[in-house]
Structure 1
Amino acid sequence: MPELVSIQVGLPQTLGTDAAPNPMDQRWTTGFFKQPVEGEVWLSTTNLAGDGQADLKNHGGIDKAVLAYSAEHYPDWRSHLNHPELPYGGFGENFTVVGQTEADVCIGDIYAIGNARVQVSQPRQPCWKLSRRWRIADLALQVKANGRSGWYFRVLQEGAVQAGLAITLCDRPYPQWTVARANHIMHHDLSDRAAAAELARCPLLSRNWQEKLLKRGAPS
């Protein structure tokens, strides 16, 4: 049974300085730094209590209320990045889960976590802030290449959640659209316009991804 093993939240903060010669040290504002929380946390339709995003154009909102990431990826990342202490939340996720990866989770899946209900809306598309957080210039590109992206939830029913709760599948309307397959179409099958158009027609895929895929699938 999949399980929520850790919850992380964090509010935006400004780091660095404008005068820094190294771009990695220059001023930036981010909500990427998440800290684990104990006990119950209220999950609303837009985010977890105590959590926030700095860039509301590209992060947060109804379709990206919560970011989930598989704990099963951490051993490989810790070895590959030579960072044995890489903590849960290290990829900016709110929910660290066991028993699930991108190959197991599908667009539109509805899960019960305590008395909350969440639905998978899209894969996570890593941005430059992941690279900046760990000072590894190509880390976001590595995530796109290997597909260990995580996925976003929209919240269908608000409720209290906490680490240790089971993640129970309630409905799977689109078993053909795993997060792994959606990632592959978005990042690797760039010339397959038919596949892009087909995925874009999935009504439970986030609007942002639908729009991007429709542009690719449109006749030239």
Structure 2
Amino acid sequence: MKILSLNTGRVHPLLVEGQSHVSGIRKSPREGRVAVAPLGLEGDEQADLSVHGGLSKAVYAYPQEHYAFWQTVRAQARVAGWNEPLAPGALGENLTLQGLTEKDVWVGDVLRFADCDLAVSEPRQPCFKFNAVMGFNQAAKLMSQSGWCGFYLAVLKPGSLQAGEDFALVPGPREVNIAELFRAKMRRA
């Protein structure tokens, strides 16, 4: 398991169905080591702290394994740039991971890096801004249906991270996994 890309972004205007909203969903890859503090990665911002960010949602991780699906559905929807590969961070994630998907991770599990520990806290719930960055209005619905939501992480041990870094998964209490919790939350939404 490893970090393929470490991504951050600043809050910028985002046009959604003709209206301007502020958002930090657009992330770009970073080079070198990046500091990780209790509220997230150095240089990263969130616009709406009621749904993103904070201590329990300081870092957002997304499996690279799902990128091919999003590339395909964008091509079918013929969104602008559909024929170009999605860049890491395109789904708003801070960590583009390889080797760990929602079905394999549980609330309370710890991702142990050389200089940092991050605890799995909850699944991401898609919003209208996700539709805007993906380029079509069914993106949030497809995330809900597929369960390929990624997951939020709380910072247990601050430190630093870098793309290419391997990590270990330290099992938590194993009471509910991210895929199950996401399905339960989507049924209630």
Instruction: Output the amino acid matched with 1:32.
Output: I
Higher strand fraction: Structure 1 or Structure 2?
2
1:120 aligns with 2:113: no
1:127-138 equivalences under 5 Å are 127-138=127-138
Instruction: Output the amino acid matched with 1:44.
Output: A
Which residue of 41, 44, 51 maps to 2:37? 44
Q: Is the 8 A contact 1:24 1:135 kept in 2?
A: no
Q: Is the 8 A contact 2:3 2:163 kept in 1?
A: yes
Q: Is the 8 A contact 2:74 2:135 kept in 1?
A: no
1:18-97 equivalences under 5 Å are 24-82=17-75, 83=82, 84-97=84-97
Deviation at 1:26, TM superposition (A): 2.2
Distance (Å, rounded) in 2 between the aligned partners of 1:135 and 1:75: 16
Q: Which runs of 4+ in 1 moved over 3 A?
A: none
Higher helix fraction: Structure 1 or Structure 2?
1
Deviation at 1:138, TM superposition (A): 1.9
Task: Name the residue aligned to 2:152.
Answer: 152
Q: Which structure has the bigger radius of gyration?
A: 1
Specify the SS of the correspondent of 1:90.
Answer: coil
Instruction: Output the amino acid matched with 2:113.
Output: I
Distance (Å, rounded) in 1 between the aligned partners of 2:150 and 2:112: 18
Distance (Å, rounded) in 2 between the aligned partners of 1:153 and 1:126: 16
Q: Is the 8 A contact 2:63 2:98 kept in 1?
A: yes
Specify the SS of the correspondent of 1:28.
Answer: strand
Deviation at 1:172, TM superposition (A): 2.3
Distance (Å, rounded) in 2 between the aligned partners of 1:124 and 1:143: 10
Distance (Å, rounded) in 1 between the aligned partners of 2:135 and 2:18: 9
Distance (Å, rounded) in 1 between the aligned partners of 2:23 and 2:29: 17
Aligned length: 182
Which of structures 1 and 2 has the larger relative contact order (alpha carbons within 8 angstroms, sep 6+)?
2
Deviation at 1:169, TM superposition (A): 1.6
Q: Deviations for 1:58-117, whole angstroms, at most 9, x for unmatched residues? A: 211001000000000001211122134111111100000000111111110012122100
Task: Name the residue aligned to 2:78.
Answer: none
- Seq. identity, %: 35
TM-score, with length taken from structure 2: 0.91
Distance (Å, rounded) in 2 between the aligned partners of 1:78 and 1:48: 27
Instruction: Output the amino acid matched with 1:169.
Output: L
